[in-house]
Structure 1
Amino acid sequence: MTNIKPGFLDAKSEYLYDLLARIKQRPGMYMGKPSITRLNSFLDGYMSARIELGLSPTQQEQEFNGFQDWIQERFKIESSHGWASIILFYSADEKAALEYFFELLDSFRRGDPADLNQIWQENASGSTLPLTQETASLAD
C-alpha cells in the first residue's frame, strides 16, 4: 500500500451524502447504469477505500450504517439480507429500486420512523404523508 503524505489527500470530513446526491443526479456517470446493486457495490468500494487509506468514519458514514437496521424495521425483515436486496425485492427492477432507495434515504435522513404504522398514526389527524412509492401502494 502506498503511504499518503499528510496534506496530500484532501478528504472532506462529510462527503457521503454529497456523493449520493451527485449519484442520484447522474447515476450512469458513476455506475454505468441506474442500478441499486451497482450502487451497493460502489458504496462498498467507497467504504473499503476509506478504510485502506486509514480514514476514520465520518458522522455521515456512521449515520448511514443505521440505514440497514432502519430498512429491516421498515419492511419487517429479520433475515440477513442487505438493504439493497430488500429494496430490490420490493421494486419492479434495478432502476426503480435505485429511485426507491433515494426516497427511503430521504425518509431515513429526515428521521422518519421506520414503522409505517407509526407514520400512519401520527398522520391520522388529517395531515398528509409525502407521497412515495411506498405510501402510494399502502393507500390502495
Structure 2
Amino acid sequence: MYLGKPYITRFKAFLDGYIGARNDLGFALNEQEETLNKFQEWIQSRFKITSSHSWAEIILFYSGDERDALDKFFELFDKFLGSEGKLLSPPSSQNKLLESSTQLSKETVSL
C-alpha cells in the first residue's frame, strides 16, 4: 500500500476504496471489515463523540497533525484489539501468499 504521505486521511481513503470495491463486486463484509466497524464505535465511545465523524476525523482532531494521527491510529487500534481479546489473522489466501513468498525466499537464498 502506498499513501504518498503518512496521512491518516489517505489511509482512511485507501480503506474506504478497498471496502467500497469489495461491496460493488458483491462481497459480504469480512471479519477485518466488521472489526473496523466495531473500531468506529469504540473510538466514538472512547472520545465520547456522538456525531457521525469517522474514526480518522476523530483521531485527527485529537492529534497534532496527520502524521501524528496515523501513529495514534495504530496505538489505538492495538488497544482496541486488546480490549476485544483478539488479533486479526490474515485471510487464508494471504497465508498461502506468505507461505509462497517465504518458500521463494528460501529457494533464492539456497541458489
Question: TM-score, normalised to structure 2's length?
Answer: 0.71
- Give secondary structure in 2 for the equivalent of 1:92: coil
Partner of 2:62: 90
Stretches of structure 2 lacking an aligned partner (at least 5 in a row): 85-111
- How far apart, CA to CA, are the structure 1 residues paired with 2:2 and 2:50? 31
- How far apart, CA to CA, are the structure 1 residues paired with 2:77 and 2:15? 14
Does residue 52 in structure 1 map to residue 24 in structure 2?
yes
User: What is the identity, as a one-letter code, of the residue corresponding to 2:54?
Assistant: G
Would you say how many aligned residue pairs link Structure 1 and Structure 2? 84
Does residue 73 in structure 1 map to residue 40 in structure 2?
no
Deviation at 1:62, TM superposition (A): 1.0
- How far apart, CA to CA, are the structure 2 residues paired with 1:77 and 1:63? 19
| Shift >3 Å, 4+ stretches | none
Deviation at 1:49, TM superposition (A): 0.9
Bigger relative contact order (CA 8 A; separation at least 6): 2
- How far apart, CA to CA, are the structure 1 residues paired with 2:37 and 2:50? 17
Does residue 102 in structure 1 map to residue 74 in structure 2?
yes
- How far apart, CA to CA, are the structure 2 residues paired with 1:42 and 1:111? 25
- Identity between Structure 1 and Structure 2 (%): 60
Q: Deviation digits for residues 78-116 of structure 1, max 9, x if unmatched?
A: 11111111100110000000000000011111116xxxx
Q: Deviation digits for residues 67-86 of structure 1, max 9, x if unmatched?
A: 11100111111111111111
- How far apart, CA to CA, are the structure 1 residues paired with 2:71 and 2:41? 20
More helix by share: 2
User: What is the identity, as a one-letter code, of the residue corresponding to 1:69?
Assistant: E
- How far apart, CA to CA, are the structure 1 residues paired with 2:26 and 2:57? 29
Stretches of structure 1 lacking an aligned partner (at least 5 in a row): 1-28, 113-140
